[in-house]
A and B are shown apart, each in its own frame.
Chain A
Amino acid sequence: ILNVEQSPQSLHVQEGDSTNFTCSFPSSNFYALHWYRWETAKSPEALFVMTLNGDEKKKGRISATLNTKEGYSYLYIKGSQPEDSATYLCASPGLTFGQGTILTVHP
């Protein structure tokens, strides 16, 4: 199972700021890229499953893009709210998870 890397490791933003973070993955043998949100004391919750190069998905203020040729995906949060504070995980080939980006949104 090959490595999935996420950056940054943690991020602190103010309420109302827009933010984004990165997931990079091996582009060979690509099948799908998953994004999950993991709040403290809860289980990871699926945000997006992306399969096509150039794919862009949106769920409320959260959106994601996918570049399978260069092996990266971006997750964007527009107008961050304190309730967006969570760890954001991506997973790809073989459903290997990255280490996550911990987002803290300060009121």
Chain B
Amino acid sequence: EPEVTQTPSHQVTQMGQEVILRCVPISNHLYFYWYRQILGQKVEFLVSFYNNEISEKSEIFDDQFSVERPDGSNFTLKIRSTKLEDSAMYFCARSIYRENSPLHFGNGTRLTVT
């Protein structure tokens, strides 16, 4: 089964800068998710996206975060003004159904904010 492709694999940015993380899932999966893992901590849910709309978001997903699917293919996570504590591994995932089908994860983008 095709993998979810995430780009870039590693992004280094300065505090206060905007970053855009990209994910290319296969087209017949309806549900998309962003998760992150800060080093040494648990995987944290950020947001789920269905039918071109946010369906659920966590308290982490504040106003500095946004998601969109600008061209019906790429699924992007934008962080408007990065903070040091945004440094983490960010995973995109997709699934056919909401909860009773498995998540298929991309290989992740390691974001380092300096």
Q: Which residues of A approach B to under 8 Å, CB–CB?
A: 1, 31-32, 34, 36, 42-46, 49, 51, 89, 91, 94-100
Contact = CB atoms under 8 A, between A and B. Distances in A.
14 contacts: A31-B100, A34-B103, A43-B3, A43-B107, A44-B91, A44-B105, A49-B102, A51-B100, A94-B56, A95-B99, A95-B103, A97-B35, A99-B41, A100-B42
B99 A97 contact: no
A40 to B, nearest CB: 12
B58 interface: yes
A43 B91 contact: yes
- Majority secondary structure, A binding face: loop
Interface of B: 3, 33, 35, 41-45, 48, 56, 58, 91, 99-108
Contacts of A91: 103
Nearest to A34: B102
Contacts of B91: 43-44
Contacts, number: 48
Contact of A43 (B41, B58, B106): B106
A44 B100 contact: no
Contact of A42 (B44, B45, B107): B107
A95 B45 contact: yes
A87 B45 CA distance: 17
Contact of A46 (B41, B43, B58, B102): B102
B84 to A, nearest CB: 22
A10 B11 CA distance: 30
